[in-house]
Each structure stands twice: as structure tokens, then as C-alpha cells.
Structure 1
Amino acid sequence: MALTHIPRRRRTARRLHTAPAAVVTGILVTGLLATPAGAEHSTGAAVGTVTRTVGGARFEPGPCPKTAEPIAELKKARCGTLTVPENRAKPGGRRITLGVAIVPAAAAKPKPDPIVWLAGGPGDDAVGEAKMAIDGGLNRDRDVILMSQRGTYSADPALLCPNVDRFNARAVGLVYDAPSTGRLHVEATKACRDRLADRGADLSAYNDIESAADYADLRTALGIKQWNLFGISYGTHLALVYMRLHPEGLRSVGIDGILPPSRAGSALAWSSAREGFDGLFKACAKQSACNKRYPNLSATFERLVRDLEAKPVTTTVKVPGNDKPVKVVLDGGALVNWLTTATHVATQVPRALDELAHGKPQRIAQQWAGWKLNPQGMGVVSHGLAYGIFCSEWTPYESRAKALRGGQNAFPSFPRSVLAQAPQLTFLRPDCDVWNVPAAPRSIRDVTRSDIPTLALSGGFDAQTGAANGPYVARTLSRATVVTVPYEPHVVIATSRCAQEITASFFDRPTAPKTGCLKGLKPPRFEIGP
């Protein structure tokens, strides 16, 4: 199974999911809790400066949470920890701590309602995404609150699986969707599951219901009357559950790269891939130079998937950070998963596919291996949280037959061996068999019905959470504004100035955001090879 994120290099440059382990990380950033200069005007000058206990949750000021890399945006943050029950059904059981960082607003007189950032994944750490949130302009005139979801990097315990990350890196030299690869992957998953369980983790308690309660407890513990949410990727999944279970105190909600809990699973992964691929291929077809040099790009891609699945290609490439050449095997499944992520480097895709069609797999192989072997993605994703959600909220409510039909409907020409593994959810069902957690209540799949003002953002090239998810969730959100930013990949606030402007105007006026910047957007200029 692979998580769904933006490639690391792209994410840090303009902002991250999920290549499999390419996640935003950040290194130890600590400091005594102090109110930074100018913070006396902040949401709460008082927020994060006193210990508060409310119900079963306790907020305590303290050093900023650890991050995998230094994050300059946290230097002025007020920080601490929220301590909550691991399993609220077992009030006398173990307690866990979640790292909290509050980045002050840039304005001299901030608005009183902060914005809470919900990270992607599942399994990414929100504190490690501080740069993305601030680069997106969210702290323009509001404080931004980042709390590590349970099990993530800056939480205690952190349910990480570095052995799974290492296997995913090694697997670039294996046939992607071969049964033998699947057996090795499931062995790695089980080894991590057993290690976490042996350390006392209640793996059934890492899910959306508990995470939503964590955030509700945080608002109360910080004494905040009203706040806003902004979730990206999987964070939209959590945001929609939060809206349904804990609507009190919510002024507005932004969701970017939308993953509806009621539809999440393999079939949705396939339809999202189709939508994102088609968006990219059509943009090339409408650009005369691209269409002339790379005609019928969609047909070329589907033919390559079939050909590679029948006869995989093996090559070696050089990857940054690796002294020795890396062996890469490209089969049909690998190509599908490469393209799902490569929409983040869309201008290169037509040329890369054409090179592959003419016996030059190196460009695609180097990107594929580079994303998977990136050392910054090792040991930072909470597979414990990811599997907790996948295996309790997704697989129990999607049959194998439904998952397969989703693939067949989206890509009827693909071989069955490719369709058996949804994009970026490879070997999900056997992984869940060994993860062995009970199903969540069926209500977890309910649609969210709400009149809370909501901004539903999508990218036209998003192959991970297709743009059709915006109108879908808006059917039951009576005050939703649906925006698709054309020519953009997954998580548009990370790559689109227009998306940032729309988001800023939304938090100013949640029922009437300004979307005029969409009219001036132009398609990218695709690379044209010799």
C-alpha cells in the first residue's frame, strides 16, 4: 500500500501524500514557550500560555513539537501538548500526547478566530506542514493552529513503520503488482503491526472518530469560542467527519483535494486517476505543439500499461543521495502509480511517455525511484494511523467486486492484474487482513450534511482525489462554494497563487469568496522533445 502525496521536491519548493513515502517532514525545533513580539494582539494572547484541563483532555504549554527537519515558520510559535485518552471507550486506559504549535498571525490586529490545519496522508504530521500552511497565506490575519494527529511523527506514541518505508523503496526493483511482491509487502506490514501492538498501542483507537474528538477537545482546552478548519487531502476526510460529529464552534471550513468519507476506497482511487489523467491529456491535445508532437496521448498511455504488464522493462538509474545505480522495474501497475503522482510535474508527462514508448524508460524510472527512495520520507509517516483508517473505515465497506468494478469502469482496457491494485492503495486488502482492527460504525460512511460555510477546492489535474468530489460533497453542504482550479494537481493551495487568493477571501467572507482570478489562468507549456 502506498500513501498519496505530492513529491517531496515539489512540496518544499512551492509548498507535499502521498509518492508512497514522500511526505512533508520537518528536525527538532524546540524552545521555551514564549509570547513572541506582537503576539499580545493575537487570538489569544492567552492561547497556549496556561495549562488547561477540560473533561478528559489537558493542554500544557511547553517546547515546540519535534519535526524531522528545521522549520523556520515555527520559530515564533507558541507550543505545547494536548493529552487525551488513547481510547475514549476505555476512560481508565492509556493516555497519549499530541504536539501543538500556534503560529501567530502576520497582521498587527489579527481576527479572533484562528485557522486549524488538518494534515494529509493519512499519517502526515500537521506540525511538519507548517511551511506549507504559512506559504499558503493562512496566517495573513489569523493565527494558525497545527496539532499532530494521533500516532503521527510529533505525537507520543508515534506509530511509524520505517521497515515498510524501506520495503517500498526496495520494491522499485521488483515487479510492482506481482503476488511475490505482495507477500513481501504484507510481511513488512505485519512486522510493524506486531511491533506497535507489543509496545502497548491500541491500534483500534487510531481513526477519524477519535481524531475528531481530539480536535474538539483542543478547542475547548485552549478556550477558543470559534475557529475555522482547513484540511488538505486526507485532512478533508477528517474535516468532513469533524463537521458532522462536532459542528459546535465551527465558523467555516476549507477542504482542498477532497476525499469524501462516504466514497473513500479503491473505486474512488480509480475514478480520480481517470479524471486527473484525462485533464492532463486534454490540456496537451488543446495545445497545438503538444498535440502535434504527442497525438493520442491517452491511447499511448493505455497501450504502454498493457505492454509493460505483459513484459516489464528493467533499467538502472542514478538517484540523488544514492552512490550506486538503482535497479528499477516498470510494469503496468508501476506506470499507473507513477502517473498518479507525476501530475505534479505535468509539463514533463507527454515527453516522458513518448520516450518510454520509444524504448527510453530512464526519465520515468528516475522519477519513480527518486520519489520512493527519498530519505526524507523514511520513518516519518504514521502507518499506524493510516491503516487504522483504511482498515476500519474503508475496506469493511467496499467489497473486492466493487473495487474491481471501479477499475474496470475507469480503465476497461487495463489487464486484470493492474486493476486488482488501485492506484496508491496497492495490496490494501491483504494489509488490512493482517492489521486486524474492528470495523468502525457504519455511520462513518454517512455523508456530511451541514450549513457551515465550506470552500471545496480541487485541481483539474488531480489524479489522487478527483475534482468531481467537490460537487459531490457540496450536494449536502447548503453553503458550499465549489472551485476547480484548472491545470493544477492535488492540493492546490500548495501550487496555485489563485487558490491562495480564493482561500484568503473565503476566510474573510465565507459565503462570498472572490474567484475572479480563475478567468486569467492559462494551461502549462508542455515540454516538447526532439
Structure 2
Amino acid sequence: MIKKIAYFLLMAFPPLIINCQSIQENVKGSFNTTFTISKKTTHKINKKQKYTFGYLEVPENRQDSNSQTIKIPVYIFKSRSKSPKKDPIIYTVGGPGQTTMPSAQYMEYYKYLDDRDFILIEQRGNYYAKPHLDCPELAKATFRSNLPDFDETEYDVLVAKATKDCRNRLAKKGIDFDGYNTNEIAADINDLVNILEIEKYNLLTISYSTKIAQVLMRDYPKKIRSIVMDSPLPLESNYDEESVKNLLETVDKLLSDCEANEGCNNAFPKIKTRFYNYLKEKTEKPLEVKIDNPNNGKIETFNLTGADLIGVFTIASTEDIVNIPYEINKLLSDDLTSVKEQLSYLFQESNYGSGLGMRLSVWCAEEYPFSSQSIIKTETTKYPEVKGLSSETFEEEICKIWGVQKVSEIEDLAVKSDIPVLLINGEYDNLTPPKWANSMSNNLVNSYQFVFKGWKHTPTTNWGNPCAMILANEFFNNPKEKPNSDCFEQIGSPEFKTE
């Protein structure tokens, strides 16, 4: 049933900073850029929170002297301190294709505002930017392809048509698809810094937006004081070549940790071997699962292979980690209650198309061209546990349809810098594994790395435990030293549920 790992290197939570006293109603900058204050915001903001909201207007494509302009929403939240530090934090989330703006509603939870201003900037092409590169056509195609009565032989044709329809619709609006990439986003942030006359600033980035940070530190390093990269995605990594391998390595680590834990191993002996054998078995002879279609009451039949059943791990959040061996054991015991619950969600259409056009432009210009199609093909068939699970985010035909230009070779090369950087990872993050950040640290001479035991993707957005946010804030306050918060030392290995 599953065609590929449809990951979003995501997460969305906000903040940034700057001295707003000098902001005018309409401020002009380089490249015909302006920042215009607006009373109408994207979200309702707590009345106690002081802020400025406006739109940064920039060229859609800086390589085209005749480019039209686009508008990018920006929140500038004032620090809670009576004497805030002068270097604000600029924050943008992951994706590509995820919106930063919803974070604006939750500033009371952001510890960064205790010390300095916090600036949220939307990435061009995302939900609240003007224009917004949405693709509801692809959302509908994805929904259709996941239903049990779908003929998988029609998948490629269905997705190709949806991609063409989306591109044609956006093209009629005059969209220049080559203007939506990491380089342009980095230039947007640099323009904002200049137009607001910020002398020094800090960057808070997560997942995909850590690539934006790397471009900024390479191309516009002068004003950057420090950077936090949560769940880093290195420029030099070839994501599509590694995603299946990274997934299995992470699952292997978690199950090995269960076997090394006396209580978990006693409750679920040899769980790793039994789970892998189960996945292989179901790949050869799919698991038949019948559920009631919540839309019409009709009984529907799903046939699940190992590529589908590995979802026991992939759909889990950090909070769910402790339950994974228990859920796997349920599956091995033919208890399908959790599986049926998850399958029922496939009958609900979602707004998955939001920002997907932006994601296509970034991926097809920056990731797909540098990935080996032969390696990807091998990865799809290499692992018998999940045979058929593609590591490719967008297939060759889809990127050909989208038709964006390949970026320069430098965008696939590691960045070297002495700017202070804090690298944060979750131990069980298969999307951006800790090994990537560890490799990056060789080129970032003033960097520190923290790997959170038992956690998954983007630890700084874990509202249940703000320790990663606390570490990040400590680092912003003193980037020349490794943060030393007691909360990190108190995080032990996960206590797996056994009954």
C-alpha cells in the first residue's frame, strides 16, 4: 500500500527579536525591499504581548531584474525583560513547506523572550506568504492513493496529473518557480536584518530550516552572533539516498535498547528479531486488515506489508517512544486495535496540499539533482523487512514536471564556519539522525552537540519537557561556552511500557 516515505522535515513553533523603536510605517531596503507594518495579523495575539507585525516585500527571483515582488509576513515580539539584550533571535521552522506563523499565538511559552526580542518570519511560498504555493491537487491524489480500493498501477499517472494540474494553476498566477528555494529564503532573512538595522542577531532553526542557517552563515555571516540548529539537515547530505537506511538504523537502536533493558527484555524477549521476521513475512504475504469505513459504514480491506507496518515507529512522537515495544508486541500477538485506529484516519481528507508547491520547488532544485537514482532504486529493494518502501521524496517524473533549475554545486557542499553553533538532536530521530550533526561538527569549529535520550525529531519544540529550549536559551545568552543545564543530565533512558 505504501509507496514511499512521505516525510516532512517539519515542525512549527516561533520567535525572533529586534529593536522596533526605529521602525517606520514603510521602510525601504536594498533590492527594492520594504517592510510595511500591518494592523491585520495572521493570528490573534495575547493582549499582554507587545509586538509589531508587518510584511517584508522582496523580489520573487533576485536573479531576474524584472522580477515581480512577493510579501512575507513577519512578527517582531518584544522581550519581557525591562532591559533586553540587543541581539534578537530570528526563528523560522522546518518543511520545506511548513508555516511559521501559528507559533505567534504561543509566545508565553517561549523562554527566549525573557532575555531578548524574538522574530518570526514565514518562508516564502508558505501558507501565510503572498503568494502561497499550495497544491490541493496533490493532497487529493495522496488521499485517493491510500484508500484500499485504489489500483496501485495507476499511482504514477495519478500523481503526475495532479502535479501538472497544480503547476499549471500556479503558473497562470504568474509564479516564478525558480524563485522558491533556500538561497532566496536566506536572502529574505538577510534583507530583513538590514532593513530593520539589526547589528547582530541569533538564529533558531529546526529541521529543514537548518539548511537556511547554513546558507546564511556561508553567504551572510557578518551579523550572525550565534545559531541553534535543532535536528540539523546538512547541505552535503543526500536525504533521499539514506532515508530508509536511517529509519531501520533508528528502529534497530530502539529495539536494541529495549533488549538491553531487563524489564523490557523480560516482557518482550528477542523483540527485534521477532519484529524483523514479522515484517519480512508480511512483505511476502501481506497482513489483511478489515475495518469499517467511517464515511459509509462499508467494510474495507487493507493489505499491509512491512513497509506499512514499520509505521508503528514512524508515526510515534517523542511521548510515544516508551510505548513502541509494547505496540510491536501487540502486533506480533495479532492484536490489531492500534493498526485499525490508524487506518481509520486514511478516510479523512486533510489540507496536506498547504505549502506543497514550495516543497516541490526546493526539493526538485536542491535535493533530487544531487541524489543517485541507482542508489535510491537499490535502497527500495535492499531491505527485505520493508521491501518496496521508496526513500525518494519526489520521483524523477514529478521533478521534471515541476521544471525548476538545479541550484549551484556549492549547495551540496559542507559549510565551514567559526560562528558559535549549538547542535541539538533526538536520539531516535530517523529523519535527521544525530550522526549527521556529529559529522557537521567537524566543520563548525565552535559547535556543541546535545543528543536527547529517548527523544525523536526537533527537541526544542517538545512542550512536555522544555529542556532543549532551556539549553538553547542558555546558549544564546553565552554562545562561547557549552550550556550546562541540570535538566539535560536528568533525562535518562526511556522507561519502556511493559503492560
Does the TM-score normalized on the shorter chain lie above 0.5?
yes
CA distance, structure 2, for counterparts of residue 175 and residue 391 of structure 1:
30
1:12 aligns to what?
Answer: none
Tell me by how many angstroms 1:406 deviates: 5.2
Tell me by how many angstroms 1:437 deviates: 1.3
Is the Cα–Cα contact under 8 Å of residues 241 and 372 in structure 2 kept in the other structure?
no
Q: Which of residues 137, 153, 167 is equivalent to 2:141?
A: 167
Tell me by how many angstroms 1:355 deviates: 1.9
Q: Which of residues 517, 523, 526 is equivalent to 2:493?
A: 523
Is the Cα–Cα contact under 8 Å of residues 74 and 103 in structure 1 kept in the other structure?
no
> Residues 407, 74 of structure 1: CA spacing in aligned structure 2 closer, same or farther, 3 A cutoff?
farther
Is the Cα–Cα contact under 8 Å of residues 263 and 445 in structure 1 kept in the other structure?
yes
Q: Secondary structure at the match of 1:440?
A: coil
> Residues 385, 62 of structure 1: CA spacing in aligned structure 2 closer, same or farther, 3 A cutoff?
same
Tell me by how many angstroms 1:175 deviates: 8.9
Deviations 1:391-448 (A, max 9, x none): 011111111122245567xx64346423xx11xx455333223222121111111111
CA distance, structure 1, for counterparts of residue 306 and residue 209 of structure 2:
30
2:39 aligns to what?
Answer: 63
**Any unmatched runs of 5+ in structure 1?**
6-16, 27-41
Q: Secondary structure at the match of 1:354?
A: helix
2:316 aligns to what?
Answer: 342
1:499 aligns to what?
Answer: 468
Deviations 1:207-230 (A, max 9, x none): 111111111111111111111101
Q: Secondary structure at the match of 1:522?
A: coil
Q: Which moved more, 1:265-274 or 1:326-335?
A: 326-335
Deviations 1:372-408 (A, max 9, x none): 6677x51563112111111011111111122245567
2:377 corresponds to 1:401: no
Tell me by how many angstroms 1:147 deviates: 1.1
> Residues 94, 129 of structure 1: CA spacing in aligned structure 2 closer, same or farther, 3 A cutoff?
same
2:193 corresponds to 1:193: no
**Any unmatched runs of 5+ in structure 2?**
none
Give the letter aligned to residue 497 of structure 2: E
CA distance, structure 2, for counterparts of residue 323 and residue 106 of structure 1:
52
Tell me by how many angstroms 1:331 deviates: 2.6
Percent of residue pairs identical: 25
Give the letter aligned to residue 476 of structure 1: N
CA distance, structure 2, for counterparts of residue 393 and residue 76 of structure 1:
38
Tell me by how many angstroms 1:365 deviates: 4.1
> Residues 323, 245 of structure 1: CA spacing in aligned structure 2 closer, same or farther, 3 A cutoff?
farther
Give the letter aligned to residue 413 of structure 1: P
Is the Cα–Cα contact under 8 Å of residues 252 and 454 in structure 1 kept in the other structure?
yes
CA distance, structure 2, for counterparts of residue 509 and residue 108 of structure 1:
19
Is the Cα–Cα contact under 8 Å of residues 169 and 369 in structure 1 kept in the other structure?
no
> Residues 237, 433 of structure 1: CA spacing in aligned structure 2 closer, same or farther, 3 A cutoff?
same
Tell me by how many angstroms 1:489 deviates: 0.6
Q: Which of residues 63, 69, 72 is equivalent to 1:98?
A: 72
CA distance, structure 2, for counterparts of residue 199 and residue 498 of structure 1:
45
CA distance, structure 2, for counterparts of residue 176 and residue 281 of structure 1:
34
Is the Cα–Cα contact under 8 Å of residues 176 and 331 in structure 1 kept in the other structure?
no
Q: Secondary structure at the match of 1:452?
A: coil
Q: Secondary structure at the match of 1:112?
A: strand
Q: Counterparts of 1:150-229 in structure 2 under 5 Å?
A: 150-174=124-148, 178-229=152-203
> Residues 130, 329 of structure 1: CA spacing in aligned structure 2 closer, same or farther, 3 A cutoff?
farther
Q: Counterparts of 1:440-455 in structure 2 under 5 Å?
A: 440-455=407-422
Deviations 1:250-304 (A, max 9, x none): 0000000111121132123234323432332233223322212222333333233
> Residues 284, 159 of structure 1: CA spacing in aligned structure 2 closer, same or farther, 3 A cutoff?
same
Tell me by how many angstroms 1:246 deviates: 1.4
Deviations 1:173-218 (A, max 9, x none): 2499944334323332232122212221111211111111111111
CA distance, structure 2, for counterparts of residue 173 and residue 2 of structure 1:
17
Is the Cα–Cα contact under 8 Å of residues 119 and 129 in structure 1 kept in the other structure?
no
CA distance, structure 1, for counterparts of residue 149 and residue 257 of structure 2:
31
Tell me by how many angstroms 1:323 deviates: 8.2
Q: Secondary structure at the match of 2:429?
A: coil
Tell me by how many angstroms 1:470 deviates: 1.2
Q: Secondary structure at the match of 2:171?
A: helix
Q: Which of residues 382, 387, 403 is equivalent to 2:355?
A: 382
2:398 corresponds to 1:431: yes
2:426 corresponds to 1:459: yes
Give the letter aligned to residue 361 of structure 2: G
> Residues 51, 185 of structure 1: CA spacing in aligned structure 2 closer, same or farther, 3 A cutoff?
same
Is the Cα–Cα contact under 8 Å of residues 74 and 101 in structure 1 kept in the other structure?
no
> Residues 365, 491 of structure 1: CA spacing in aligned structure 2 closer, same or farther, 3 A cutoff?
farther
Q: Which of residues 305, 329, 345 is equivalent to 1:354?
A: 329
Tell me by how many angstroms 1:509 deviates: 0.8
> Residues 248, 50 of structure 1: CA spacing in aligned structure 2 closer, same or farther, 3 A cutoff?
farther
Q: Secondary structure at the match of 1:457?
A: strand
Q: Which moved more, 1:301-310 or 1:140-149?
A: 301-310
Is the Cα–Cα contact under 8 Å of residues 456 and 481 in structure 1 kept in the other structure?
yes
Give the letter aligned to residue 334 of structure 1: D
2:438 aligns to what?
Answer: 471
CA distance, structure 2, for counterparts of residue 74 and residue 165 of structure 1:
38
Q: Counterparts of 1:266-345 in structure 2 under 5 Å?
A: 266-315=240-289, 327=300, 329-337=303-311, 339-344=313-318, 345=320
CA distance, structure 2, for counterparts of residue 175 and residue 303 of structure 1:
28
Tell me by how many angstroms 1:233 deviates: 1.0
How high is the TM-score relative to the length of structure 2?
Answer: 0.88
Tell me by how many angstroms 1:25 deviates: 9.4
CA distance, structure 2, for counterparts of residue 404 and residue 74 of structure 1:
54
CA distance, structure 2, for counterparts of residue 76 and residue 176 of structure 1:
51
Q: Secondary structure at the match of 1:489?
A: coil
Q: Secondary structure at the match of 2:222?
A: coil
Is the Cα–Cα contact under 8 Å of residues 45 and 105 in structure 2 kept in the other structure?
yes
Is the Cα–Cα contact under 8 Å of residues 502 and 513 in structure 1 kept in the other structure?
no
How high is the TM-score relative to the length of structure 1?
Answer: 0.84
Q: Which of residues 114, 124, 140 is equivalent to 2:88?
A: 114
Q: Secondary structure at the match of 1:512?
A: coil
Tell me by how many angstroms 1:162 deviates: 2.2
Q: Which moved more, 1:295-304 or 1:92-101?
A: 295-304
| Aligned residue pairs, count | 488
1:4 aligns to what?
Answer: 7
Give the letter aligned to residue 66 of structure 1: T
Tell me by how many angstroms 1:324 deviates: 5.7
1:243 aligns to what?
Answer: 217
CA distance, structure 1, for counterparts of residue 348 and residue 234 of structure 2:
29
Give the letter aligned to residue 395 of structure 1: Y
Is the Cα–Cα contact under 8 Å of residues 175 and 329 in structure 1 kept in the other structure?
no
